[in-house]
C-alpha cells in the first residue's frame, strides 16, 4: 500500500563545498525516509554541478518552522 509521505521532511539535503571549517553548506532540498526504512525520497530545489551532497537529520527547530 502506498503511504503518503509525512508533511515535514525527516532530513535536510545540503551541497558542501570545501573542507573543514572553511566548508560552505547550502541547503538544497529535503528527504523523507521510506516506511520500510530502506531508502529515502529526495526533493531538490536545484542540482549542484560541484561539491558533495550531504543528507542530515533535520533539526527540530527547523522542522517546526517548516524548513
Q: Radius of gyration of the chain from Cα atoms? A: 13
Tell whether the model's pLDDT for residue 28 goes beyond 60: yes
As a whole number, the mean pLDDT across the chain is 84
Q: Is the pLDDT of residue 57 over 90?
A: yes
Statement: residue 27 has pLDDT above 50: yes
CA distance 57 to 9: 9
Cα dist from 42 to 18, 20, 29, whole Å: 23, 26, 7
Tell me what pLDDT residue 62 has. Answer: 52
Q: What is the mean pLDDT of residues 39-51?
A: 93
Percent of the chain residues past pLDDT 70, beyond the cut? 78
| CA pair distance 20, 59, nearest whole angstrom | 21
Q: Residue 64: pLDDT above 80?
A: no
Amino acid at each position: 500500500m502506498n503511504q503518503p509521505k509525512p508533511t515535514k521532511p525527516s532530513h535536510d539535503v545540503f551541497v558542501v563545498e570545501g573542507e573543514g571549517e572553511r566548508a560552505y553548506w547550502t541547503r538544497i532540498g529535503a528527504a523523507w525516509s521510506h516506511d520500510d526504512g530502506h531508502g529515502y525520497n529526495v526533493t531538490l530545489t536545484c542540482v549542484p554541478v560541484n561539491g558533495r551532497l550531504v543528507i542530515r537529520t533535520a533539526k527540530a527547530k527547523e522542522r517546526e518552522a517548516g524548513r
